[in-house]
Amino acid sequence: MIAEILSTGDEIRSGAIMDSNAAYISQKLEEAGLPVIRHNCVGDDIDILVSVLEEIGSRTDIAVVTGGLGPTMDDLTAEAAAKAAKVELVLNDNALSSIKSFYSSRNRRMPVLSEKMALLPKGAECLKNRVGSAPGFLLVIGRCRFFFLPGVPFEMRSMLSNQVLPQLEKLQGPNRKFFAVKTLSTFGLTESQTEERLAGFSAKFSEIKLGLRVDFPEIQIKLYCNGRNRKRLEEIITAACKWIWPKIGRNLFSIDGGSMEGVVGKLLSEQQATLAVAESCTGGLISHLLTNVAGSSDYFLFSGVTYSNESKIRVLGVSAATLQQYGAVHTEVVKEMAEGVRRLTGATYGLSTSGIAGPGGGTDDKPVGTLCIGLSTAKSSRGCQYNFSFAQRSMNKKIFAVKALDLLRRELLDAIGSEEVQSSTL
């Protein structure tokens, strides 16, 4: 069995909104063992809708369609489905009672216009919508079973998991396949360096498809495999992770899709350590990332976004002489910043950045992309300099912030003498 996805609506077709439903549905169908062959998207045009439904009906087993089920003139999906299946629209009692119970559960009167949503193609099976007013439906067109769902993401998600996936499981019967995807997140190697280090993987793990994906500034290693025995899948994925880990080393920071800031937060928590940050060129991004993690107030004490020299001196106690002698972008300055913010807050770790994110401010000596990171602990303080060559300010800020967090992560691993990412999950 193979599947397709059809997203409908002028808003998506014209690019006014991005289609987040297609990716979500693909993931869920593939996890359920149904390969998704193709996505399609067309606007609110009855002729085009009918022809794309006929087309999909002629080549696919299962299709999930989103959008166009509402009560307005633009909502043409039921009409198009009826035309493609060459049946009439009829009042569907289950659909009508689904709409009525939605409104009564919210103590609202059902608008007259909403009755239109109960007109479904003859022979369609109503799919009740418990979180919105528009019911969905199941209809066979050609050789394909179409599941028609609303376009509102949380309604679609609820109906997909409560109504579509259980039906698909039954359809696939006892011989269904399971699909596993594992994401390993790395930072520090280029895409081609990562590929080189993984040479020989395919010969060793012929059942796994390996893919590299750039999620700037990370490189993700993706492992895909499928089979009828779920336990066996888990075993070969685990074996593959164990094979990969020593080849990528500490550049591998997460094997469960976790973010750099989440991993750093977890290590700080585990070590009952606290962190204070002094940011110049990263402009608050390190703090923003750290505080995106729920519970970060347990270990994140303070960040001083000291954009001006004056604030580096006044808040962090950086020496005016150091700034005068070296300029703000220098290993000595970030060292003093990291020491200063640690002193100010009493944190276990002080982390700092100063650099040139661009587009202006670069010199021959220190071009755009220059980054200094300072790290101060109870034992010692140091400053390091790096160079990146990205054109965009936003990319520089991002890689600067992740590089600083990565430096801290490696320090935290040293502190516990660990070479592993998260040994418990390997």
The answer to whether residues 273 and 349 touch, using CB atoms and an 8 Å cutoff, is: yes
Q: Which is nearer to its own copies, 124 or 184 (CB)?
A: 184
Selected from 32, 33, 34, 36, the binder of its own copies by CB under 8 A is 36
46 belongs to the binding site for its own copies (CB under 8 A): no
For the chain, how many residues are written? 426
420 belongs to the binding site for its own copies (CB under 8 A): no
19 belongs to the binding site for its own copies (CB under 8 A): yes
Tell me the closest approach of the beta carbon of residue 204 to its own copies, in angstroms.
Answer: 17
163 belongs to the binding site for its own copies (CB under 8 A): no
The tokens for 423 are 């040994």
Report the relative pairing of strands 62-66 and 3-8 from DSSP bridges. Answer: parallel
The tokens for 217 are 């500034």
The tokens for 250 are 């500490």
392 CB-near residues (< 8 Å, 6+ apart): 358
Residues in contact with its own copies, counted by CB under 8 A, come to a total of 88
CA–CA distance, 306 with 303 (Å, rounded to integer): 9
Considering only the stretches 81-89, 141-149, 166-174, 302-310, report the one whose residues sit in contact with its own copies under the rule CB under 8 A: 302-310
DSSP 8-state assignment for residue 236: H
115 belongs to the binding site for its own copies (CB under 8 A): no
CA–CA distance, 101 with 93 (Å, rounded to integer): 12
CA–CA distance, 102 with 108 (Å, rounded to integer): 9
Q: Which is nearer to its own copies, 249 or 359 (CB)?
A: 359
Residue type for position 324: Q
Tell me the closest approach of the beta carbon of residue 206 to its own copies, in angstroms.
Answer: 15
15 belongs to the binding site for its own copies (CB under 8 A): yes
143 belongs to the binding site for its own copies (CB under 8 A): no
283 belongs to the binding site for its own copies (CB under 8 A): yes
Q: Measuring CA to CA, how many Å separate 193 from each of 28, 210, 221, 421? A: 32, 15, 12, 19
Tell me the closest approach of the beta carbon of residue 301 to its own copies, in angstroms.
Answer: 5
61 belongs to the binding site for its own copies (CB under 8 A): no
Q: Which is nearer to its own copies, 272 or 297 (CB)?
A: 297
Considering only the stretches 170-178, 358-366, 377-385, 412-420, report the one whose residues sit in contact with its own copies under the rule CB under 8 A: 358-366
Q: Which is nearer to its own copies, 100 or 288 (CB)?
A: 288
- 369-398 residues in contact with its own copies (CB under 8 A) are 389, 391-394, 397
**Closest C-alpha among 411, 335, 318, 407 to residue 376:** 335
